[in-house]
Structure 1
Amino acid sequence: MSAPFRFPRFFVTSPSPCPYLPGRQERKVFTELTGPHAGELNDALGRIGFRRSQSVAYRPSCAGCAACVSVRVVTDQFKCNATQRKLMRRNSDLVATACKPWATEEQFELLRRYLKMRHPGGGMAMMDEADYADMVEHSPVDSYVIEYREPAAEGERGRLVGACITDRQIDGLSMIYSFFMADEDARPGLGNYIILDHITRAREAGLPYVYLGYWVKGSDRMEYKTRYRPMEMLGPNGWSALDDTHVAKPLPAQQTPQFA
């Protein structure tokens, strides 16, 4: 007989500076994903706005601020616009492979270059190879790394230009973290192409959603997530369509002191 399912214990982090909105602070609620029911728990928490990081599921729990909004693309209704169709054609020669969640030196070198160009002062900038291996390999759920390579001669491997750590959930693909060539040697639009490829993969697998994590109103770094319509956002009454009125609405001021 299997062990009974236990309701998870949740914890709250101490407040720290928000990486997206200057002058605000963030706090997260989290729980561990362990045991034989880790996948089921991750699926359930994903539907209410949690994200996975290694063996932890978390979501924002900030006092007086609700700028972080969980968003997901509705795959069977999504249609590329002209710019996205051009991007798909331009990168149609890339070879995408879903690999087991095993970190490689080549992946880490690509991540290091990506962080140097895109997030030089971010919290991940000091990651070493062991940290990256933990991020990839310590997954208690159905997870893999999708690699994107340029074409090569027969018997050879093309240059790795992009990768995404991806979870397969019961109702969709969750893009945990993507990274790609972002310097002068890079193809333009690789990050957007990786999202488009995930939408295609999910639709072909019969999965209704691609989870993109949090859209942060007021953060230029997160604006790109609203380009993939139709999209749903998670609010107090559940999931609903995200439209231009939500995107255009100004960011509300904090309603209470940040933290007591």
Structure 2
Amino acid sequence: MAVHDETNQELRLFQTGEHPCGYWPERQARDLVLDPQDERLGTLYPMALSWGFRRSGDLVYRPHCQNCRACVPVRIPVARFAPDRSQRRCLARNADLECRVLPAERTDEQFALYQRYLQHRHARGGMDDHGPHEFDQFLIGSWSHGRFMEIRSPTVDHQRGRLLGVAVTDVTELGLSAVYTFFDPEQDKRSLGTFAILQQIAWAQRGGLPHLYLGYWIHGHRKMDYKRRYHPLEYFDGRHWRQADPGNEALQS
């Protein structure tokens, strides 16, 4: 399949064969993928985000399943975001933590935390045997716009605090994209996943960027349904981004 970008240059899209769905194992999935050999991928990526695509390593894809439309691209218009009571409690609970944005370069400390997270959250899920190469391939890639936002315990006596979480985040002129977050599985009470998103929202606001892209929302999926808790929220209907609210049928079906 070929389409044209804003400069009227041809883009090649491929449809993958069927493969087991990563969200509903009993279902078969397919994806639309931008040509992985296209040397313009890094330049095209922001536009692809606006079309509901997502990045995994060097792969820019969007679910395109024959009989399922469960994956709904969503984003937060950060200028209008207001945390709810639960999110304000999360911010207060983690007010002692320190966040800093770094180049997307793997460290031994980050990789050790990544392994612990996968072994706890995705045991026997196909990712828990990831090594350094898989880390780089999945989270960084060769043309990445990515940054690593580290979340650490407080600095004491000029000694850097313990690494508690990393939010892998792509930076584009259209906004930030939350690629993946991993954190200390022993820190459940801190709700570090929520805290990371709130910090990414604040990061986008400071940078004057319009959106934080959250990837795909899936109704009823225990690991994906949390995204509807951020308001306001916009969803992509295949042609346009539209405002969603808690009762919007577009996020119920």
- TM-score, normalised by the number of residues in structure 1: 0.87
On the 8 A contact 1:101/1:145 being kept in 2, the answer is yes
SS of corresponding position for 2:101: strand
On the 8 A contact 1:150/1:161 being kept in 2, the answer is yes
SS of corresponding position for 1:157: coil
2:97 corresponds to 1:94: yes
C-alpha spacing 1:77/1:249, structure 2 compared with 1 (3 Å): closer
Determine the C-alpha separation between the residues in 2 that align with 1:59 and 1:248. Answer: 18
Identify the residue that residue 203 of structure 1 maps to in structure 2. Answer: 205
Aligned match of 2:72 in 56, 69, 72?
A: 69
2:172 corresponds to 1:169: yes
Q: What percentage of aligned pairs have identical amino acids?
A: 36
C-alpha spacing 1:77/1:62, structure 2 compared with 1 (3 Å): same
2:49 corresponds to 1:46: yes
Number of aligned positions between the proteins: 246
C-alpha spacing 1:248/1:236, structure 2 compared with 1 (3 Å): closer
On the 8 A contact 1:167/1:173 being kept in 2, the answer is yes
Deviation, structure 1 residue 169:
1.4
Q: Deviations over 1:47-102 (max 9, x none)?
A: 00100112120010100111100000110111111111111111122111111111
- AA matched with 1:221: K
C-alpha spacing 1:235/1:201, structure 2 compared with 1 (3 Å): same
C-alpha spacing 1:116/1:17, structure 2 compared with 1 (3 Å): same
Determine the C-alpha separation between the residues in 1 that align with 2:124 and 2:250. Answer: 29
On the 8 A contact 1:18/1:24 being kept in 2, the answer is yes
2:243 corresponds to 1:241: yes
2:126 corresponds to 1:123: yes
Determine the C-alpha separation between the residues in 2 that align with 1:38 and 1:207. Answer: 21
C-alpha spacing 1:54/1:33, structure 2 compared with 1 (3 Å): farther
Pairwise mapping of residues 1-260 of structure 1 onto structure 2 (< 5 A)? 6-31=9-34, 32=36, 34-35=38-39, 37-183=40-186, 185-246=187-248, 251=253
- TM-score, normalised by the number of residues in structure 2: 0.90
- AA matched with 1:231: L
On the 8 A contact 2:139/2:180 being kept in 1, the answer is no
Identify the residue that residue 257 of structure 1 maps to in structure 2. Answer: none
SS of corresponding position for 2:17: coil
On the 8 A contact 2:118/2:128 being kept in 1, the answer is yes
C-alpha spacing 1:247/1:196, structure 2 compared with 1 (3 Å): farther
Deviation, structure 1 residue 248:
8.8
On the 8 A contact 2:244/2:251 being kept in 1, the answer is no
Determine the C-alpha separation between the residues in 1 that align with 2:136 and 2:145. Answer: 16
SS of corresponding position for 1:200: helix
C-alpha spacing 1:79/1:21, structure 2 compared with 1 (3 Å): same
Deviation, structure 1 residue 159:
0.5
C-alpha spacing 1:34/1:166, structure 2 compared with 1 (3 Å): farther
C-alpha spacing 1:134/1:124, structure 2 compared with 1 (3 Å): same
- AA matched with 2:76: V
**RMSD, aligned α-carbons:** 2.1
Deviation, structure 1 residue 201:
0.8
Q: Where do 5+ consecutive residues of structure 1 fail to align?
A: 252-260
Q: Deviations over 1:147-173 (max 9, x none)?
A: 111012233221000001111111110
Structure 1 runs of 4+ aligned residues shifted over 4 Å read 247-251
- AA matched with 1:225: K
